[in-house]
A and B are shown apart, each in its own frame.
Chain A
Amino acid sequence: MTSLLAVLIDGSIYASWLFLVAAGLTVIYGVMRILNMAHGSFYAIGAYSAASLVGWYFNNGIGPAWVSYLMLVGAALVAGLIVGVIIERGLLRLMYGRDEILMVIITYALLLILEDGMKIVWGVSPYFAYQPYSELGRTSLGLLKVSNYDVALVGVSALLGLGLWAWLERTNQGKVLRAVIHDREIAVAMGVNVKLMFTITFVLGTTLGALAGALTAPAISVVPGIGIEVIVLAFAVVVIGGLGSIGGAAVGALLVGLSRAAAVHYAPEFELFVIYGVMSLVLAFRPEGLFGRTLARKI
């Protein structure tokens, strides 16, 4: 019984993290048709920015602990905004209209550059921002002790998902964005400023990636390479859910999160295969992912 409860709790926590990581990826793909390999680097940049800011704050013992939570979010917003604007305006803008696969490769080149760029800025020594994580304490559920920070992350993730959904479905800007998703050319013809929508979307995506990194930073040691590890995970979640679908990413994250937690508790030897197994299974039955749109074939 305890372990069933543990699977549910661990699974939801992991799923909420996966969703945070995958949300930015799926938003960018949905609107811009760019499968962004550098998404993991945005995650890492967010983590580094947050960890260096929060680490500095606590090392100097300036003020109360709650400020550090604002700093996590603030660092991610600033980092995501700066990096997003530079990359979209400086590089991607030159490339729009190229083949979808070529865009993947461009972002792959970006990943290589950003990985070394981060090394130049932050070096290779680990950064820590553990105070926000330990500050919230933990809750005991029998033998199981759960970190309150992790539980709070589930809430943040759910709120973020709802916010994104509401923005897309309930606001004017969201409506315009959906028009761009549906048919870019018609949207242009109708007077939509697609270029501006692209900038907004890309910056939103990078900020979401940076936010995921910043919120994860307190629980980990921020070291080179953390971004590389999340790319494939995020891709898998997004592909399972259906590219470009926010709801799909949420369901995909839950599916992977719960399966993984179940594997850890009941069949640890399969843990390594869970994510690819789930992905292959889902795609075998739903080639476009769970919530993917079946595209009409062009003639």
Chain B
Amino acid sequence: MRLDKTEISLGLIALGCVLFGFVSPGWLIFLLTIALAKALVVQGVVMQMRSGLVSFGQGLFYCIGGYTVGMGGQFFGIHDAVAALSLGMFVAIIIAMLLGLLLTRYREIFFAMLSLAFSMILFGILVKSQELGSTDGFNVHDWTLFGWAPEAGAGSQYTVFTMTVVSGLIVAVLIHRYTKAGIGVICEAVRENEVRVEYLGLSPRWLLYGNYVAAAAVSALGGGLTALATGHVDPEMAYWTTSGEFVFIALLGGLGHVAAPFIAAIVFSFVRTYAIEFVPHTWQMILGFTLLAVIIFLPKGLWSLVSREKTGERA
């Protein structure tokens, strides 16, 4: 297996993150864990955006991932983190395979609204489920990793952080390869002109279908990791504003590079947490202006800060 430069640097950064975790304070580790876990969901959004579909309901799979991990521990005795995360991805894949059959018939705003509707239906079901704590949700604790139980507090926090970084690395490398491969390039072609892709003898619909299912799995992984890190799940994960946040981060980063969602998620978390601290009454406004500024000045997302220099060099 040959690694290209991007993959090597991604690996180095991941290693750097894991080492950095040893010296950074707890709140920062937590912030980064949540940011990176959310970035995985954003990767799911971005994967679909590359082929021209914007999901306003990615919270559906985020929530499925989180609830599967929570319920696995609570009701089915699945305490191993890796098993629970895999189960979450599996459940998400099954549901995505079903919903995808319907959803891939839609484009543009109809896809966005229908994906939002499914997410809201899950939200409604969870609100109705009093055994699952309705809107209060329930706590996720007592998980292990291959039979080893990390000590409560800093130990388990660091473990989740490491798991998130490793998952992020694996997903990033896979997505990187996918976008570089022929099929990934066709995704962009589908976004540009679906009919021409069809004329080439390919089926855009099944491509979008595959994309949708893969994005669901990645998002569920992000949701599961979030559940492990916060120790709590609630139906808010499936609410449309949560999905809106993922789209927000996706645009903040841009589609330029596989690392963009991670950087965007971290920047977003910092902007939000400091906005809440310094202007507790108007932090949403700060987020709104940030988003507008990015759209106006960096139409291709934060990543264009990096790639702009690159094109300059080429010229």
A228 vs B288: C-alpha distance in the bound complex, in angstroms? 15
Q: Tell me the chain A residues, 261-299 only, with Cβ under 8 Å from chain B.
A: 269, 272-273, 276-277, 279-280, 283-284, 287-289, 297-299
Q: Which of B113, B124, B244 has the most CB of A within 10 A?
A: B113
Min CB–CB distance A195 → chain B (angstroms): 19
Residues of A within 8 A of B120 (CB): 232, 276
Q: A119 and B109: CB pair below 8 A?
A: no
- When distances are taken between beta carbons in the complex, the residues of chain B under 8 Å from A98 are 299
Tell me, yes or no, whether A243 is within 8 Å of chain B by CB.
yes
**A60 CA to B118 CA in the complex, in Å?**
49
On chain A, the residues within 8 Å of B116 by CB distance are 232, 235
Q: How far is the CA of A116 from the CA of B128 in the complex (A)?
A: 31
**Pairwise interchain contact A105-B117, C-beta atoms closer than 8 A:** no
Task: State the CA gap A119–B282 with chains docked (Å).
Answer: 8
Q: Does B309 contact A (CB under 8 A)?
A: no
Contact A100 B108 (CB under 8 A): yes
Chain A contact residues: helix, strand, loop or mixed: helix
Instruction: From B241, B285, B287, B292, give the contact of A117 (CB < 8 A).
Output: B285
Shortest distance between the CB of B119 and any CB in chain A (Å)? 9
User: Chain A: which residue is nearest B107 at the CB level?
Assistant: A287
| Beta-carbon contact of A110 and B288 below 8 Å | yes
- A190 close to B (CB within 8 Å): no
Residue B291 at the A interface, CB < 8 A? yes
Any chain B CB within 8 A of the CB of A239?
Answer: yes
Q: In chain B, residues 100-131, which have Cβ atoms closer than 8 Å to a Cβ of chain A?
A: 102, 105-106, 108-110, 112-114, 116-118, 120-121, 124, 127-128
Given A105-B295, A108-B291, answer yes or no on A279-B113 (Cβ-Cβ < 8 Å): yes
B281 to chain A, nearest CB (A): 7
Bound Cα distance A57, B230 (Å): 50
How many Å lie between the Cα of A284 and that of B110 in the bound state?
Answer: 11
Q: Do A272 and B128 touch across chains, with their CB atoms under 8 A apart?
A: yes
Instruction: Name the interface residues of B46-64: CB closer than 8 Å to any CB of A.
Output: 54
* Contact across chains for A299 and B251 when beta carbons are under 8 A apart: no
Instruction: Report the minimum CB–CB distance from A209 to chain B (whole Å).
Output: 18
Partner of A283, one of B54, B106, B196, B282: B106
CB neighbours of A298 from chain B (8 A): 193, 195
Interface assignment of B284: CB less than 8 Å from any CB of chain A: yes
In the bound complex, do residue B291 and residue A94 qualify as a contact, i.e. CB atoms below 8 Å apart? Answer: no
The CA-CA distance from A35 to B112 in the complex, in Å, is: 11
Q: Across the interface, which residues of B come within 8 angstroms of A91, CB to CB?
A: 292
**Nearest-Cβ distance from residue A93 to partner chain B, whole angstroms:** 12
Which of chain B's residues has its CB closest to A117's CB? B285
A141 is an interface residue with CB less than 8 A from chain B: no
Q: Are A232's CB and B284's CB within 8 A? A: no
B289 touches A113 (CB 8 A): yes
A101 within 8 A of B: yes
**Min C-beta distance of A101 to chain B, whole Å:** 5
Q: Check B117 against A108 for contact (C-beta < 8 Å).
A: no
Which chain A residues border B121 with CB–CB below 8 Å?
273, 276-277, 280
A91-B102 Cα distance, complex, nearest whole Å: 36
Contact A299 B195 (CB under 8 A): yes
Residue A109, interface by CB 8 Å: yes
Cα separation A187 to B75 with both chains bound (whole Å): 62
- Judge if B247 is at the interface, Cβ distance under 8 Å: yes
A102, CB-defined interface residue at 8 Å: yes
Check: A236 CB closer than 8 A to any chain B CB. Answer: yes
- List of B residues within 8 angstroms of A211 by Cβ: none
Decide: A111 near B113, CB < 8 A? Known: A100-B108, A105-B251, A298-B193.
no
| Cα A262 to Cα B109 with chains together (Å) | 29
| Distance, CA A232 to CA B123, complexed state (A) | 14
Chain B residue, CB-CB nearest to A120: B282
User: How many whole Å from B197's CB to the nearest CB in chain A?
Assistant: 11
Q: A94-B296, A106-B295 are in contact. Are A288 and B110 (CB under 8 A)?
A: yes
A10 interface residue per 8 A CB criterion: no
Query: Which residues of chain B have C-beta atoms less than 8 A from A111's C-beta?
Result: 288
Q: How far is the CB of A41 from chain B (nearest CB, A)?
A: 11
Q: A95 to nearest B CB, angstroms?
A: 8
Output the least CB separation between B176 and chain A (Å).
Answer: 24
Residue in B118, B195, B284, B289 whose beta carbon sits within 8 Å of that of A280 in the complex: B118
Q: How far is the CB of B192 from chain A (nearest CB, A)?
A: 10
Inter-chain contact A232/B240, CB cutoff 8 Å:
yes
Q: Is A280 in contact with B114, judged by CB distance below 8 angstroms?
A: yes
Any chain B CB within 8 A of the CB of A115? yes
Chain A residue nearest in CB terms to B56? A104
Q: Does B270 contact A (CB under 8 A)?
A: no
Q: Which residue of A lies closest to B53 (CB)?
A: A101
- Does residue B138 face the partner (Cβ distance < 8 Å to A)? no
Determine the chain A residues whose CB is within 8 A of the CB of B284 once the complex forms. Answer: 112-113, 115-116
A-B contact pairs, 15 of them (CB 8 A): A101-B108, A104-B112, A109-B288, A112-B291, A113-B292, A116-B284, A119-B281, A239-B110, A272-B127, A279-B113, A280-B117, A283-B106, A284-B102, A289-B110, A298-B193
Top-7 shortest CB links A-B: A112-B288, A116-B285, A113-B288, A109-B291, A272-B124, A109-B288, A276-B117
Residues of chain A whose beta carbon lies under 8 Å from any beta carbon of chain B: 35, 91, 94-95, 98, 100-102, 104-106, 108-113, 115-117, 119-120, 228, 232, 235-236, 239, 243, 269, 272-273, 276-277, 279-280, 283-284, 287-289, 297-299
